[in-house]
Amino acid sequence: MAYFIEKTRNTNLEDTAIPNLFITDFMPDVPDADFVKVYIYAYMCCRQGIALTHTELAERLGLEVTKIHAAWRYFSERRIIKRLNKDISDEAHYDVEFVDVKGMLYTNDKPNGKSSSVSLSDPALAALFKNIAVICAPPTIDSGDAQRIKS
């Protein structure tokens, strides 16, 4: 016995889940709204298994390819994507890997290039956050709150 779900026939009818941490912690600081368009559209294509070149992405979004590269530089500096160089001699030839922004909350990475994220490896800190979450109804501690509490 096997179970199957019919594949959607039109990818425009599917949903793309953008992590709330991207929306709350990264998007407000993005200096150019076109960068957000680049991130979200490419993320959608990646989730659907659609491969695009930087030029094709630019055409679909009605942007210059230089804007695409600027967006990827920006997000790479914030460490929410990785630029994987395919040809060291040509900086324009790279793939993009989307980083797990939710996982960054519990590591020592520096997602915004500002300060380190909260690490729950310290048992006392983990207990503090657990107590705070119990007090809040419902628990609403986001990474910004966690960073302020830690500092």
Better pLDDT: 106 or 110: 106
CA end-to-end span of the chain, whole Å?
Answer: 54
Say if CB 64 and CB 55 are below 8 A apart: no
Please identify, in words, the CATH class of the domain defined by 11-115.
Answer: mainly alpha
Distance CA 118, CA 77 (A): 19
As a whole number, mean pLDDT of residues 11-18 equals: 80
Condensed to tens digits (0 to 9), the pLDDT of residues 49-101 reads 888 999 999 999 999 999 999 999 999 998 899 988 877 666 678 899 999 88
Condensed to tens digits (0 to 9), the pLDDT of residues 16-51 reads 888 888 888 889 999 999 999 999 999 999 888 888
Give residue 138's pLDDT.
56
As a whole number, mean pLDDT of residues 1-5 equals: 65
Give residue 17's pLDDT.
86
Domain residue spans in the chain? 11-115, 118-151
Distance CA 112, CA 43 (A): 19
Would you mind telling me the total number of residues written for the chain in this entry?
Answer: 151
Output the furthest CA–CA distance in the chain (Å, rounded): 55
Give residue 115's pLDDT.
43
Give residue 38's pLDDT.
96
Distance CA 20, CA 16 (A): 12
